[in-house]
Amino acid sequence: MSDATPQTLPLAPFVARRGWRNGHVMTLAAWRRTRQYPELPAAEPRQFRTAPDTTVLAHGYWQPDRTSRPTLLALHGLEGSVDSHYMRGLAHEAWQRGWNAVLLNQRNCGGTEHLTPSLYHSGLTDDPFDVMAQLHAEGLPHFGVVGYSLGGNLALRIAGEIATVPQRASSPVRAVAAVSPTMDLDVCVRAIERPSNVLYQWHFMRNLRARMRRKAALWPGEYDVTPLGRLRTIRAFDDAYTAPRAGFGTAANYYHQASAMRLIDRVTVPTLIVGAEDDPFEPPEQFRRPEVTGNPHVRVMLSPHGGHCGFVARDGYYAERTALTFLAAFMPS
């Protein structure tokens, strides 16, 4: 562990790849770009029981002496999975540094709809905490958490709950990083509802509707798919399915209760937020709020460019590299 603090740790600024200095270009190009990891070993799938009726699937990349190494827990965004490009990129970055990496599918993601009758949401921290607790009991000493987008909100909530929820205080998490986090859910959903973001809204809704139809087929009687045909926005989907199923009632209450913004001022775990001014649907104003900037344990790196979960530099993927550099600085020796 270095003597650096989150604010003093030397971290290079992001310089966007030439020709990609546009938020939409960066977002879409990074998403569609083919990436290969020849050095990364085959993943070891493992299921974790996190509730009486719920199992989640993770992919592990293990060092030979796993119990003497730090472990990365990676959390994907809305409708992502362990196969999302940044998830495998994080695994590669961690593996190259001598870390273990655990990529966690959120409930129903990555083809796991049959493993639980419930749905995932942006405040569901029980699963990652339970997975880390089980691995910690098996001898893995220290964890760093990285989340992207919706998973970034989850990562920040993990940091906040360690400070505010007594049963979380003994968590083995030593540092957290969030890339393009939806830390104020209502603000981010409003942003994706802009006409300029219709492509993103359409993409997410196509996947959400398809997932709910698969879910209903696997769990007869659990879900009524009749409303799906008229749902056109993420907010409407959350009002119809996510919020009532998770006990929030309405989308508005869900967005308020699940947003990491409600906890960020109480975070004491070293925490990094990586964001971009040109993110199409993550307004940068959320990262400038006093709850964020006034906490010395939280470092914000806000770049002019980067898009949403993009951050492709001339020499590789900046956010993945920077997140692991930050986590490594706060791991016990």
Active site amino acids:
149, 279, 308
DSSP-assigned letters across all residues of 210-271? HHHHHHHHHSTTT---GGGGG--SHHHHIIIIIHHHHT--SHHHHHHHH-GGGTGGG--S-E
Task: Select from 135, 8, 127 the least CA-distant residue to 57.
Answer: 127
CA distances from 290 to 205, 210, 303 (A): 33, 39, 18
Structure tokens at 72: 């990365």
**Which amino acid is residue 102, in one-letter code?**
V
Distance, in Å, from the CA atom of 260 to the CA atom of 256, rounded to the nearest integer, reads: 9
For 294, which DSSP code? Answer: T
Distance, in Å, from the CA atom of 153 to the CA atom of 330, rounded to the nearest integer, reads: 21
Sign of CA dihedral 254, 259, 261, 265: positive
CA distances from 298 to 75, 195, 207 (A): 19, 33, 33
